Amino acid sequence: MNTKIILHIDLNSYFATIEQQANPRLRGKPIGVTGGDRLERTVLGTASIEAKKLGIKTGTPIWQALKLCPQLILVKGDSDKYLSCTKIFINILKDYSPNLEIFSIDEAFLELTDPKLDPIKIAREIKSRIKKELGEWVTCSIGISYNKLMAKLGSDLYKPNGLVVIKDETAAQWILNRVKLDDVCGIGHAIKHRLYQMGVRDFPSLRRVPLESLTASFKSYGLVLYNMARGIDHNLVNPFYEKAEVKSIGHQHTLSFNTDDPEKIRQILLKLTELIARRLRAKQLIGKTVSFWLRSADFLSCGQQSTIHFSDGGLDIFNAAWKIFMEIWDRKPLRLVAVTVSNLKPLYPTNLTLLPNDLKQQKITRSIDRINDKYGEFMLKRAVLLKVQPMSRKANPYLSDRRFKI
């Protein structure tokens, strides 16, 4: 192989296999793990290997999955369980190289820095250790190649429990000629549709498109597509301990029932913004841009942004989100609302306030956070939230909000 040797390790049907490992009665059966702690009006966070064979995919709405497979067993997601398993997974990989990039909660890139190491032997050892330390039912697929793009494609080719080596650009182009455009990471539905409009339906035809034409249609991403068709990828493996801080913090909530009651929506929105504010304060961040979007009962979505003074306060975020909501809501029943705070910066250094009311509010907020940290989310809360349905923070699939605990 080339000098650079990169492994992409992908745990197969991660949430589902962890649940099957924890509960032997689920093994060998089609199960679907929900994206949160609910079983209605949501989608599957993961489908088990057995469920995938029946045509059920991750992200399939619950009602649709049950229609495809009436015998599907639904399991509530347990993010703490998966994060604890991910910690074991990462600690295994750290033994082989410091160049470890956590791509998501169940997959990682590992660059071998010692050319004397046998990557195939390392891959088999990783597979063995995962079974030993995470459980006999947990498997992974590994791709080995000269760059990240082809390593990830290699791990996707033969699932579950695959091991594929793509040695060089010649081998890469041979494989690319035999896969679909959207089999490669970086080509989603929208880009695939635009390529189809150009008459490009596979990688051989993409390779024939001049670079000038691709950049004219896709701007800077045209060069990425040009290189992708040739198995070229210059992206480096970014060690997880050097990963930049999150660029935004948000929360969305699917309502248990459609509603056009402004008071119910107001309470839910206030709870969302309090959750976001808690996460900002936990990270010692403040934000300036508030984004709000909604999805109506007929699945139509719309949203808007607003700017506030830099803040980590729930009421500041709520007031901005509520103002947007009142401007864009057409009075139709809603099924989902979402709020995100971006344009973040560290809380410190900052100008200290000497105003008595501000000092008092800061002291109250810190005390409430300490109590909720110890006894649970919303142990102390505003009185207006007493009748709001339970709502808690779930782990981000990309570890953006809890990665320092890994």
Residues marked active site are found at: 107
User: Which one-letter amino acid corresponds to residue 124?
Assistant: R
Give the integer Cα–Cα distance in Å for 165 and 147: 11
Give the integer Cα–Cα distance in Å for 230 and 174: 10
DSSP annotation string for 252-319: EEEEEEEE--HHHHHHHHHHHHHHHHHHHHHTTEEEEEEEEEEEETTS-EEEEEEEEEEE--HHHHHH
356 Cβ contact list (under 8 Å, min separation 6):
none
DSSP annotation string for 49-94: HHHHTTT--TT-BHHHHHHH-TTPEEE---HHHHHHHHHHHHHHHH
Give the integer Cα–Cα distance in Å for 392 and 372: 12
CB 146 within 8 A of CB 237: no
168 Cβ contact list (under 8 Å, min separation 6):
1, 2, 146
Closest CA to 346 of 277, 272, 276, 245: 245
Here the tokens at position 86 are 């991910």
Cis peptide before 160 (omega within 30 of 0): yes
According to DSSP, the residues that pair with 142 across neighbouring strands are 9, 163
Here the tokens at position 260 are 């056009």
According to DSSP, the residues that pair with 390 across neighbouring strands are none
Closest CA to 398 of 186, 105, 108, 110: 105
DSSP annotation string for 117-139: S-HHHHHHHHHHHHHHHH-TT--
Mode of pairing for the β-strands spanning 301-311 and 100-104: unpaired
